[in-house]
Amino acid sequence: MDIADLGGSIAKWYDETRKDTKDFRSAQKAYHEGVLTALNDYLPRNLSFEQDIENAFLGIECTFEQSLGVFHHGLPTKLFARALMWTSRDYLHLTNSERDHFRLERRPGFPSWSWSGWSFGKFWGRATIGNDVGLVLHWCPLIYIWGFNDSMDMIQLSNDYNEAEGAEGYTELLDGFASLVYRIRPVPDDRYPPTLPTLDHGAALSQHDIIFWASCAVFEISHEPKYPLNRQGFGTYVIRFSTNKAGHENLIVLKGDFRLGMHGGLEFVAVATCLNGDLDCIAIQWLRGKAYRIGVPYSRIPVRQWIDAKPTRKLVVMG
Same domain, 35 and 91: yes
Residue 3 lies in a domain: no
- Measured distance CA(105)–CA(281) in Å, rounded: 20
Same domain, 144 and 61: no
Same domain, 226 and 295: yes
Query: 221 - beta bridge partners?
Result: 239
pLDDT tens sequence across 77-114 = 888 988 898 876 655 566 666 666 666 678 888 999 99
Same domain, 270 and 148: yes
The pTM score is 0.80
Residue 128 lies in a domain: no
pLDDT tens sequence across 126-181 = 445 666 554 455 677 888 899 999 899 999 998 654 455 444 444 454 454 545 55
Contacts made by residues 51-57, CB under 8 angstroms, sequence distance 24+:
51/109, 53/107, 53/110, 53/116, 54/110, 54/116, 56/1, 57/1, 57/116
Residue 35 lies in a domain: yes
Contacts made by residues 119-125, CB under 8 angstroms, sequence distance 24+:
119/50, 120/43, 120/88, 120/89, 123/98, 124/44, 125/98
